Structure 1
Amino acid sequence: MNPISLSIYNLLWMLAWYPTKAYLKLRKRSWHLSRFESPTIHDSASNQVAWIHALSLGEVMTSIPLVTAFSNKKWTVLFSTTTKSGYQTAQAKLGQLCNEIFVLPVDAPWLTRKLCRVRPNMCIIVETDIWPNLLNTLKKNGVPVYLVNARMRPSSWKFYHLLHQMGLNMFDELDVILTASEVDVPVYASCRSFFPNRVKFMGNLKWDAALLNRSDKKEIDNLKRQLRLEASRSVWIAGSIHYGEEEKILQTHKRIMSHFSDALLIVAPRKLEIVPVLTEKCHRLGLAFELRTTSNTITPKTNVFVLDTFGELSKFYGLADCAFVGGSLVPFGGHNPFEAAVYGIPVCWGPYAYNFSDATANLEASKSGKTVYSEDELFDFVMGSLQRTNIVPLPFSPEPLSISNRIFQFLTSAVNRSYEQ
């Protein structure tokens, strides 16, 4: 990074420090205020210490298999996050795997210098959340920094390109960038002034995270028995749907039933406020429905089963012959298609799945998923999937932690090589 640009950046921090703190106190933003303090991190006697950072809840969930891989190899793991939801999730999910869990402070130079007195063997940033002073201080201290599961949105590229023009090219401070999809490799390579070959694709950690959350065959069989779901029925599922998608999904199912009279649609709204809308439209279309909260059985007369509960969607994907992942026919950004794909079923999503472009690229490359742009294309996809009962190819290995272990081996080998040099 350009020293003059970094000095100007730090001057802005000095000017904004007290007014920002005063504003946060006035607004009683206690969580944001906590990031204006340096966390207390205890010294570790271990000579194998990895600092893993994840921005928020989604990145924390993605990082679970990677943390598990390091913990399984007896590494000391320091884990940081930025948001309140990320911190709470890390405490709940990673408390037994990490030696320290703390909140990353803001990027003021005096805070990063104090924070970086900790000297891990490596710092791993999951997906995003890179900052000039943090990277600069780690580099001065000789700590290699790796960006893993990296993905670049068009809006982010414009932002980082602007920083590059201002002399704050943070990608040059990263030792290696491991992308979440092959599509992102040339994008990140173009962002580096030096060593563009240090950008690699090794798999998507979201896949490992979905595998860890997948229900096994015994659980799926028990669920089928509990619901009294007939094995001969053709089943498709629409998961995490948002308002505005229910009409197209129900209309599609109405058309499907003209070809498969016993077809069953399992529909899981992202928010429970959509349930009354769903049931009203089922009535209007003449579709017999059951609610999960009021019925534990699916009768032969049930056309639509509404999953009006939280935390069950993943195992219900295991009941289906194919899946549509919602939040993507409307401009919301989509949801994780790997949660369905780990069951070896065809998966589709709409044109607005931009928050999961890495996962959709992985699935399309392996021909196990597809973007549908209209109700007609959704109908064609479901019909084609129900007519073919073969298992689709998986984008990655079905073995748990396969990607995480490969990334672990790569990063630890890279650290050892840097020490030898």
Structure 2
Amino acid sequence: MLYSLYRGLTHLAGPAVRRILDRRAARGKEDPARRHERLGRPVLPRPPAGLIWVHAASVGEALAVLPLVDRLLLLGPHLQVMVTTGTVTSAALMARRLPRPRAFHQYVPVDLPGAVDSFLAHWRPDLVLWVESEFWPNLLSAIRRAGIPCALINARLSARSFGHWRRLPGTARQLLSVFQMALAQTAVEAERLSALGIADVRAVGNLKYSAPPLPADLAGLAALSAAIGSRPVWTVASSHAGEEAMAIAAQVELRHRLPDALLLLVPRHPDRGGEVADLLKASGLSFARRSEGGRPGPGHGAFLMDTLGEMGLVFRLAPVTVMGGSFMPVGGHNPIEPALLNSAVIHGPHMFNFAEVVGEMQDAGGVLPVSGPDQIPDAVAGLLSDPLRRQAQAEAARAVALRNATAIDRVMAALSPLLNRAGVG
């Protein structure tokens, strides 16, 4: 009944959704040139042979499935993979990272019945692999009605989301019945998904462990390394609103102890660069701005990296990383990425999106948790001033990441029967 109500409301919501898309485009949150994709009107032709559709909500999920895309393409020379996401940032990253021409990006359609039906009628995928936990009722119901084989991969379901779904057991069972299989990141999440009615649920590990180290432009790395020299460097990576002010305050205090220290400040959303630049100006901390072609000079206390796709560069430059999203109730961001590049990780109290990863790294001595922003200066100073301790911590985290890198093998083995059933195995 709830889904019928939702579907009926979304039938009427077209004009309102179009206005929302227009407003988002005005703020740089949508790509006007590809608005037709969001409305279920693709212009690219459907590949003539097999097509696997992988849906990943945003940047983190999309990066996690890149190793899976590579493995899927090995199944046959004529097979193609379409990756859908819903954000401009993830689209730009996929344009650079997907192995073209056999893998390509499209925007996921908004969850309006007409857009969904048009999207599926055009692409007619042979198999759908849905990443993590972004559940769109109309889209999933249309996949089920079309009889397309579908699996939930790298599945994640927080205790809070599980609690919400448990209060609507019939709706959850109907919505999730589209998945013939769910491959969960952890045993706990496997139990939650099984309780919601998915019949075949397995805990196979986190695909984010299987991703290779983030790439970096070597010329850009050399230029920035030369500009920074031997200065002590730390980064606040993928920061959210409120965390930049904390980072700036911590850097001001840190420079009383380490006068040459340089902060690489990397907002999660580069379009917030102007807002962050205003905070830096107000603090009196001198800085250069990457998006304007700047480089950190000897007198700069901060380098604002408000650009896209340069985290591999950041983690190679900064031997200490403070994880953004962990000092606000965002849930944190991926600590595996800095760990693979030997950057020692500090995180705040809100890392619930990576609870098991952080727990395993902490047990190995691979991360340094702090309870609040007031502890950041001490934590950063301690690691920057003690290279042996810093290296030991970084190596412990990297060892955890490498030990779990075979998650992709378990995912492919578990998917094998479904791949064969879809005719793409």
Shorter chain as denominator, the TM-score bin is 0.7 to 0.9
Residues 10 and 112 in structure 2, CA contact (< 8 A), matched pair in contact too? no
Deviations 1:357-378 (A, max 9, x none): 5764564465422432124543
Task: Name the counterpart of 2:419.
Answer: 415
1:204 Cα deviation from its structure 2 partner: 3.0
Q: In the TM superposition, what are the counterparts of 1:146-225 in structure 2 within 5 Å? A: 146-166=151-171, 168-181=173-186, 183-192=188-197, 194-195=199-200, 198-205=201-208, 207-209=209-211, 211=212, 213-215=214-216, 222-223=222-223, 225=225
Q: Are the structure 2 counterparts of residues 152 and 258 from structure 1 closer, same or farther at C-alpha, using a change threshold of 3 Å? A: same
Give the Cα–Cα distance (whole angstroms) in 2 for the partners of residues 27 and 257 of structure 1: 44
Give the Cα–Cα distance (whole angstroms) in 1 for the partners of residues 118 and 74 of structure 2: 30
Q: Are the structure 2 counterparts of residues 123 and 306 from structure 1 closer, same or farther at C-alpha, using a change threshold of 3 Å? A: same
Give the Cα–Cα distance (whole angstroms) in 1 for the partners of residues 240 and 147 of structure 2: 47
Q: Are the structure 2 counterparts of residues 377 and 22 from structure 1 closer, same or farther at C-alpha, using a change threshold of 3 Å? A: closer
Task: Name the counterpart of 2:26.
Answer: none
Give the Cα–Cα distance (whole angstroms) in 1 for the partners of residues 11 and 147 of structure 2: 31
Deviates more, 1:358-367 or 1:122-131: 358-367
Give the Cα–Cα distance (whole angstroms) in 1 for the partners of residues 243 and 204 of structure 2: 34
Deviations 1:63-96 (A, max 9, x none): 3332233234436234253636378448734463
1:125 Cα deviation from its structure 2 partner: 0.5
Deviations 1:125-163 (A, max 9, x none): 112333556555655665432111222234432343233
Identity of aligned residues (%): 21
1:315 Cα deviation from its structure 2 partner: 0.9
Give the Cα–Cα distance (whole angstroms) in 1 for the partners of residues 265 and 185 of structure 2: 27
Q: Are the structure 2 counterparts of residues 202 and 242 from structure 1 closer, same or farther at C-alpha, using a change threshold of 3 Å? A: closer
Task: Name the counterpart of 1:291.
Answer: 288
Residues 69 and 405 in structure 1, CA contact (< 8 A), matched pair in contact too? no
SS of the residue corresponding to residue 279 of structure 2 reads helix
Deviations 1:246-293 (A, max 9, x none): 55445545665666x46523231523322343354355xxxxx45256
Residues 322 and 345 in structure 2, CA contact (< 8 A), matched pair in contact too? yes
Q: Are the structure 2 counterparts of residues 334 and 275 from structure 1 closer, same or farther at C-alpha, using a change threshold of 3 Å? A: farther
Residue 12 of structure 2 is aligned to residue 19 of structure 1: yes
Q: In the TM superposition, what are the counterparts of 1:47-58 in structure 2 within 5 Å? A: 48-58=50-60
- Superposition CA RMSD, Å: 4.4
Give the Cα–Cα distance (whole angstroms) in 2 for the partners of residues 213 and 360 of structure 1: 19
Residues 54 and 81 in structure 1, CA contact (< 8 A), matched pair in contact too? yes
Q: Are the structure 2 counterparts of residues 333 and 278 from structure 1 closer, same or farther at C-alpha, using a change threshold of 3 Å? A: farther
TM-score by length of 2: 0.72
Deviates more, 1:351-360 or 1:144-153: 351-360
Task: Name the counterpart of 2:101.
Answer: 96
1:109 Cα deviation from its structure 2 partner: 9.3
Residues 238 and 326 in structure 1, CA contact (< 8 A), matched pair in contact too? yes
SS of the residue corresponding to residue 392 of structure 1 reads helix
Residues 145 and 174 in structure 1, CA contact (< 8 A), matched pair in contact too? yes
Deviations 1:166-195 (A, max 9, x none): 464433442222234555333323323644
1:356 Cα deviation from its structure 2 partner: 5.4
Q: In the TM superposition, what are the counterparts of 1:28-47 in structure 2 within 5 Å? A: 46=49
Please point out which of 49, 63, 66 is paired with 1:64. 66
SS of the residue corresponding to residue 79 of structure 1 reads strand
Task: Name the counterpart of 1:286.
Answer: none
Aligned length: 395
